Structure formats: structure tokens, C-alpha cells
């Protein structure tokens, strides 16, 4: 049988869906090798790794999306939630599980809602502001993947940028609508559970769960947590953002939901083994 260290995780390195998978694996000490890609350059790697079978497309991604985990038993998991659940089923126990039995249904419902409603909107807003900023995209590439891949991406930026805009529906009108949906989602969550979050509370029940992990990741493109703050890839620096993006990030960081997400990175992400 193959060793645990032969597990392979194909990622778009800076993506929040991929951070979710890494967090789930790291939390339970699962050893894996990451093949970090940049958007669009991930296609051949995912095709090859899945032997052209891919996963399933969903509301926010194609069937060739990342993360993809190839387990030590050759199983292919092509979805971030499935990867977190895999790590949890395999290594979690009653004390460490991210899906405590008594709250499982509520946690899974929240996980799905955040995936669908928050993840795609925070991504669109982030791309809308970053794609015109060649220097920021170059830094994103160079700080997350090897120099050859980064150079290919930066060289082809006008082309990748056009393809990404079309594929993800990135234009001013839709980015503004996404920012509004993000604010609305944050406000609704705040109304529902904001009071519980101060003083060290959690989204569901009284301990850290997959709901907190998912919220932190799905909101990350609008919070831009640094590696010192706990995010495991480079997302860029808040003080280098163009003014409109910086204002949104600062606004999101000040909400109770944003504060909670940052606290989860600080307290729960950094504790995980590298
Ligand atoms: N449902 C998927 C969504 C993943 C997703 O959207 N991944 C993006 C990363 S930002 C991706 O790889 N997009 C490229 C594609 O869809 O081909 C999950 O949670 O794993």
C-alpha cells in the first residue's frame, strides 16, 4: 500500500475553497503533497491527476475545479467539503470532530449556504479589484507558485484576465451586486448569531466546527488575512490594495462576522500542524 505522504492535493494556491481543504487536512495532521497551481493553469494538472475524469461541476465551479485530493488509497475527492469530511471521518473522534453529532445538520446546512452564497461573491469582488492591478497579480503569482508557472501567468495576464472575467462573470455591475450580497449575507449572519460570537463564541454550539472553518475561508477574499494572521497562502497586503478594495476589506474586518473569521484564523488555523 502507498504511504500517507503519497497523498496529493491539487490546488489553486491562493483560493479560499482550497484553503478550506488544506485547513481540514492540516487540522487532523494528514500528510499530503500540494501541487499548487494558478487559475486556468490548473486545468491540465487536474485533468492529468484525475485521469481526465474530473469531479462534478456545481454552482460555482467546473468539473475540473480545485481542490482535488488523491488519497493514499487512490480515491479522488474533488470538493473542499468532501475533503474536510474525509479528514474528519478518518481521524476525528468525539472530542475533535468538526461535525459534532448533535449539531451536524445545522453545521452542514450553514456550510452549504456559505459555500453557495458567500464564496462566489467574495471571489468575484476580489478578482474585480485585483485583475487590473498587474503588480498585485504578479505578487500573488510569485508568492504562491514556482517561478516558471508564475512567469507564464504574468506574461499571459491580458489573456487570462479576459478568460477569467468571462468565466466568472466579472464586471463592475456584477461585482457591485456581489459586494451588496456579501454585505447582506454578513448582516443576516450577524443578526442571527452575532451576539453569540463576542466573548469567544462559535457559529454553532459552543465549539469550533466546520461552520466556523467554512465562514473564515469563504470570507477570506474580502478580509485578506495575511500568513501571519493564519491564512496558509499569500493573498496580498491590505495596504497595497486600490482604495475601493481597501475600503471594503476594512469594512468587512470591522463587522462582528469578519472579526469572528479573523479570530478563527488566529486561534484555530495557526494551531494546526503545518
Ligand atoms: N464546490 C467546489 C468549488 C471549488 C471552486 O470553485 N474552486 C475554484 C477555486 S477558486 C476553482 O478551482 N475554479 C476553477 C474551475 O472551476 O475550473 C469546492 O468547494 O471544492
pLDDT 10s digits, 209-235: 999 999 999 999 999 999 999 999 999
3-state secondary structure of 9: strand
Residues 48, 138: one domain?
Answer: no
Reported as a pLDDT band with limits 50, 70 and 90, residue 2 is very low
What's the 16 CA to ligand 1 centre distance in angstroms? 9
Give how many domains the chain has, as a whole number.
2
Residues 18, 150: one domain?
Answer: no
Kindly state whether residue 125 falls inside one of the protein's structural domains. yes
d(CA 176, CA 160): 22
Q: What is the model's pLDDT at position 271?
A: 58
Work out the mean pLDDT of the chain and round it to a whole number.
Answer: 94
Residues 166, 235: one domain?
Answer: yes
Kindly state whether residue 97 falls inside one of the protein's structural domains. no
Q: Name the percent of the chain in helix, strand, coil, to the closest 5.
A: 60, 5, 35
Q: Which domain holds residue 85?
A: 7-91
Kindly state whether residue 274 falls inside one of the protein's structural domains. no
Reported as a pLDDT band with limits 50, 70 and 90, residue 1 is very low
d(CA 133, CA 182): 22
Kindly state whether residue 18 falls inside one of the protein's structural domains. yes
Kindly state whether residue 1 falls inside one of the protein's structural domains. no
- Say how many Å lie between the first and final Cα of the chain, rounded: 25
What CATH number should be reported for the domain holding residue 82?
A: 3.40.30.10
Reported as a pLDDT band with limits 50, 70 and 90, residue 274 is very low
Does residue 151 have its Cβ closer than 6 Å to ligand 1? Answer: no
Q: What is the model's pLDDT at position 194?
A: 83
Residues 187, 230: one domain?
Answer: yes
Q: What is the model's pLDDT at position 196?
A: 82
pLDDT 10s digits, 26-56: 999 999 999 999 999 999 999 999 998 989 8
Cell (9 digits) for 35 = 501541487
- Has this prediction a pTM greater than 0.85? yes
Residues 193, 247: one domain?
Answer: yes
Does residue 64 have its Cβ closer than 6 Å to ligand 1? Answer: yes
pLDDT 10s digits, 108-158: 999 999 998 899 999 999 999 999 999 999 999 999 999 999 999 999 999
Q: Chain centroid to CA 222: how far?
A: 11
Does residue 80 have its Cβ closer than 6 Å to ligand 1? Answer: yes
Residues 40, 136: one domain?
Answer: no
> Of all atoms in ligand 1, which is nearest to the CA of residue 58?
1
Residues 139, 261: one domain?
Answer: yes
Residues 199, 132: one domain?
Answer: yes
Helical pair 172-197 and 120-130, crossing angle rounded to 10 deg: 130
Domain boundary among 27, 57, 91: 91
Does residue 122 have its Cβ closer than 6 Å to ligand 1? Answer: no
Residues 108, 201: one domain?
Answer: yes
pLDDT 10s digits, 3-17: 446 899 999 999 999
What CATH number should be reported for the domain holding residue 138?
A: 1.20.1050.10
The DSSP letter of residue 239 is G
Kindly state whether residue 2 falls inside one of the protein's structural domains. no
What's the 244 CA to ligand 1 centre distance in angstroms? 26
Residues 163, 242: one domain?
Answer: yes
Q: Which residues are registered as beta bridge partners of 70?
A: 8, 76
What's the 196 CA to ligand 1 centre distance in angstroms? 31
Residues 39, 148: one domain?
Answer: no
3-state secondary structure of 153: helix
d(CA 74, CA 55): 14
pLDDT 10s digits, 77-116: 999 999 999 999 999 999 999 999 999 999 999 999 999 8
Domain boundary among 91, 110, 137: 91
pLDDT for 73 beyond 90: yes
pLDDT 10s digits, 160-206: 999 999 999 999 999 999 999 999 999 999 998 888 887 789 999 99
What's the 85 CA to ligand 1 centre distance in angstroms? 17
Q: What is the model's pLDDT at position 198?
A: 73
Kindly state whether residue 96 falls inside one of the protein's structural domains. no
**b/e string for 235-261 if b means 16 or more Cβ within 10 A?**
bbeeeebeeebbebbeebbebbbbbbb
Residues 111, 190: one domain?
Answer: yes
Kindly state whether residue 258 falls inside one of the protein's structural domains. yes
Domain boundary among 49, 64, 91: 91
> Of all atoms in ligand 1, which is nearest to the CA of residue 83?
20
The DSSP letter of residue 61 is B
Amino acid at each position: 500500500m502507498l504511504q500517507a505522504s503519497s497523498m496529493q492535493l491539487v490546488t489553486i494556491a491562493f483560493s479560499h475553497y482550497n484553503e478550506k481543504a488544506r485547513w481540514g487536512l492540516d487540522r487532523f495532521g494528514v500528510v499530503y503533497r500540494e501541487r499548487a497551481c494558478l487559475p486556468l493553469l490548473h486545468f491540465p494538472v487536474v485533468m492529468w491527476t484525475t485521469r481526465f475524469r474530473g469531479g462534478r461541476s456545481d454552482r460555482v465551479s467546473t468539473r475540473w475545479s480545485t481542490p482535488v485530493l488523491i488519497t493514499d488509497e487512490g480515491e479522488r475527492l474533488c470538493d473542499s467539503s468532501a475533503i474536510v469530511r474525509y479528514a474528519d471521518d478518518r481521524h476525528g473522534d468525539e472530542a475533535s470532530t468538526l461535525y459534532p453529532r448533535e449539531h451536524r445538520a445545522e453545521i452542514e446546512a450553514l456550510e452549504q449556504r456559505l459555500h453557495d452564497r458567500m464564496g462566489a461573491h467574495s471571489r468575484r469582488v476580489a478578482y474585480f479589484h485585483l485583475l487590473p492591478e498587474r503588480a498585485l497579480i504578479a505578487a500573488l503569482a510569485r508568492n504562491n507558485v514556482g517561478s516558471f508557472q508564475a512567469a507564464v501567468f504574468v506574461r499571459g495576464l491580458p489573456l487570462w484576465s479576459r478568460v477569467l472575467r468571462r468565466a466568472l462573470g466579472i464586471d463592475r455591475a456584477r461585482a457591485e451586486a456581489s459586494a451588496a450580497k456579501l454585505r447582506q449575507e454578513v448582516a443576516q449572519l450577524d443578526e442571527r448569531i452575532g451576539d453569540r460570537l463576542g466573548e469567544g463564541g462559535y457559529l454553532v454550539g459552543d465549539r469550533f466546527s466546520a461552520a466556523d472553518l467554512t465562514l473564515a475561508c469563504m470570507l477570506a477574499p474580502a478580509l485578506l488575512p495575511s500568513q501571519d494572521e493564519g491564512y496558509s497562502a499569500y493573498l496580498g497586503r491590505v495596504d497595497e490594495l486600490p482604495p475601493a478594495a481597501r475600503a471594503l476589506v476594512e469594512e468587512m474586518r470591522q463587522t462582528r462576522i469578519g472579526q469572528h473569521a479573523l479570530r478563527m484564523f488566529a486561534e484555530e488555523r495557526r494551531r494546526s500542524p503545518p
